[in-house]
């Protein structure tokens, strides 16, 4: 599911603050433990063996790089075996 908020005033620990467009992507997939919410954006990082789930471990890293290139940031929240929510924040100006 995709939801969007046209504008939000938000900030994060990396120095981003101001008015942003917020876009949320959610799924009901395998999820993850929130302790890995930063690690999953590192290139070639996987939380599961490739024999169990396909993938290369570069997808979320690419997403983060694209969003950062546009002066935004991305957050991830998950619940193991229940799904995840990825929120992208892009500057509104």
Confidence of residue 32 (pLDDT cuts 50, 70, 90): very high
Look at the pTM and tell me if it is higher than 0.85.
Answer: no
CA nearest to 70, candidates 51, 37, 92: 92
Query: Is the pLDDT at 66 greater than 90, yes or no?
Result: yes
Output the CATH code of domain 2-91.
3.30.565.10
Q: Span 1-10, mean pLDDT?
A: 59
> What percentage of the chain has pLDDT greater than the value 90?
40
Confidence of residue 83 (pLDDT cuts 50, 70, 90): very high
Runs of H (alpha helix) within 22-79 = 59-69
Instruction: Sketch the domain layout of the chain as residue ranges.
Output: 2-91
CA nearest to 46, candidates 64, 62, 32: 32
- The sheet carrying 73-79 orders its strands as 2-11, 17-27, 83-91, 73-79
Confidence of residue 15 (pLDDT cuts 50, 70, 90): low
């Amino acid at each position: 599911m995709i939801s969007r908020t046209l504008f939000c005033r938000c900030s994060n620990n990396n120095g981003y603050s101001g008015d942003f467009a917020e876009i949320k992507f959610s799924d009901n997939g395998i999820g993850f433990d929130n302790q890995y919410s930063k690690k999953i954006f590192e290139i070639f990082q996987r939380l599961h063996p490739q024999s169990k789930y396909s993938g290369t471990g570069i997808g979320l890293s690419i997403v983060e790089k694209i969003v950062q290139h546009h002066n935004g940031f991305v957050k991830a929240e998950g619940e193991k075996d229940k799904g995840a929510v990825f929120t992208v924040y892009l500057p509104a100006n």
